[in-house]
Amino acid sequence: MGENGFRAEEIDTTKPHPARIYDYLLGGKDHYEVDREAGEQLVAAAPEARIGVRANRAFLRRAVRHVVGSGVRQILDIGTGLPTSPNVHETALEVAPDIRVAYVDNDPIVHAHTGDLLGPDGTTSTTGITSGILLADLRDPRAILDAPEVRAVIDFDEPVALLLAAVLHFLADTDKPQEIVATLRDALAPGSHLILSHATGDFADRSGAAAVYRKATAAMNLRTRTEIERFFDGFELIDPGVAQVPFWRPDTPPPPRSHEIGFYGGVARKSR
């Protein structure tokens, strides 16, 4: 048993993992040969993949700054992926000092790396930030909401920013993703926000890209804008609604080929 509560054999390095492919495309270092090979296959199938993941990351940072600027001081980041600087709590800290962040992911490697970032006990309270990390699966939202690691950081009687960035497309329709989001939504206090991004095939045939993930630990399920908008049921979308991620409130000129990027993103508020 490792320090982070899992056995080394639980880490499957024989198949690509979405978080590690994403890390490779972002230029990170926490991945294996199988992830690099999958990343290159993905770029061959979807040439805009690298700029797409970077645009998605930039969207996440803009969205976090927006919700923290609106007064939210708690963030529940599910499907956090491998730490990439600036990470969510660093981004939030740019706006306010009193931030609480709970990170959740189902990959033991993500859990280990994020745990190292936060400290030996899984939490840190430096510069006014309190954070925690939970190894759990989005398919069991109730377990996430009830987990002591989450409850130690998040007070669900106060507004929370729920982050579901580039994670729901790894749930099949049979996983009932809309019900999962609804369970999470119903646990949130009024004034909470949902930040969501999701892969799509609306702008090009990306069946080849989806095929790469069928060989990974999680398949990718591309959805249309209409299908993605349904995840925001019970929330009020803020302008500009669901948009390609480079065009959601850009603070710099969108990168070349932005119109090809197959990621939608949106931010919404729960009013009651």
For the chain (272 residues), the mean pLDDT of every run of 10, in chain order, is 41 82 88 93 94 95 98 95 77 92 83 52 51 89 96 97 96 97 98 98 93 91 98 98 98 92 97 88
Predicted local distance difference test score (pLDDT) of residue 112? 61
- How distant, in Å, are the alpha carbons of 15, 232, 250, 263, 266 from that of 228? 28, 8, 20, 10, 9
* Residue recorded with tokens 């989005």: 138
Predicted local distance difference test score (pLDDT) of residue 132? 82
Residue type, 146: D
Of 177, 174, 175, nearest in space to 198 by CA: 177
Q: Name, in order, each residue with C-beta under 8 angstroms of 74's C-beta and a sequence gap of 6 or more.
A: 99, 100, 101, 153, 154, 155, 158, 159, 160, 161
Predicted local distance difference test score (pLDDT) of residue 218? 87
Of 218, 211, 213, 216, nearest in space to 177 by CA: 218
Predicted local distance difference test score (pLDDT) of residue 117? 53
Q: Is the peptide bond before 86 cis (omega within 30 degrees of 0)?
A: yes
d(CA 170, CA 202): 17
How far separated are the first and last CA of the chain, in Å rounded?
Answer: 44
